[in-house]
Amino acid sequence: MAANSEDALSRTFAALADPTRREILARLARGEATVGEVAAPFDMTLAAVSKHLRVLEAAGLVTRGRDAQFRPARLDARPLAAASQWIGDYARFWGDSLDALDSYLNAFQQLTPHHNTQEPHDKENPHG
């Protein structure tokens, strides 16, 4: 992966590391919103929400438009596709590893003698 792509991926994960920013993205997934609309459910200042939006914008996850004096924010999910692909590569690794472990255990079970797994008839006297 090129250094530029890694930097973008690092910015994406850094932006997603904060739960407030993840909530903001969830809000923007429903449609564009002004800073005031984004800030409404949070107990923080408009300046703090603007700062979160700037981090998301720097990561490429949010774009800002101009609508008269408003700057509505909207979700840009393209960086999430790269993050998902990166995670997917590791999901395939773990899937392959677990499949290999399953095959090994099945082969091991075929080679080992099976013990009698029936329960004794008399539970109080397991030998009789």
List the CATH number of the domain containing 54: 1.10.10.10
| Rounded Cα gap, residues 7 and 77, in angstroms | 17
| Rounded Cα gap, residues 53 and 58, in angstroms | 9
The tally of domains found in the chain comes to 1
| Digitized pLDDT (tens) for each residue of the chain, 128 residues in all | 445 655 899 999 999 999 999 999 999 999 999 999 999 999 999 999 999 999 999 999 999 987 656 789 999 999 999 999 988 888 777 777 777 788 888 888 888 776 555 555 555 655 55
pLDDT for res 65: 81
pLDDT for res 21: 97
48-85: string of b/e by CB count within 10 Å (b at 16+)? ebeebbebbbebbbbeeeeeeeeebbebbeebbeebee
Is residue 87, in this structure, part of any structural domain at all? no
Is residue 84, in this structure, part of any structural domain at all? no
Is residue 122, in this structure, part of any structural domain at all? no
Is residue 31, in this structure, part of any structural domain at all? yes
Q: Which domain holds residue 14?
A: 3-78
pLDDT for res 6: 56
pTM of the predicted model as reported, rounded to 2 decimal places: 0.66
pLDDT for res 1: 46
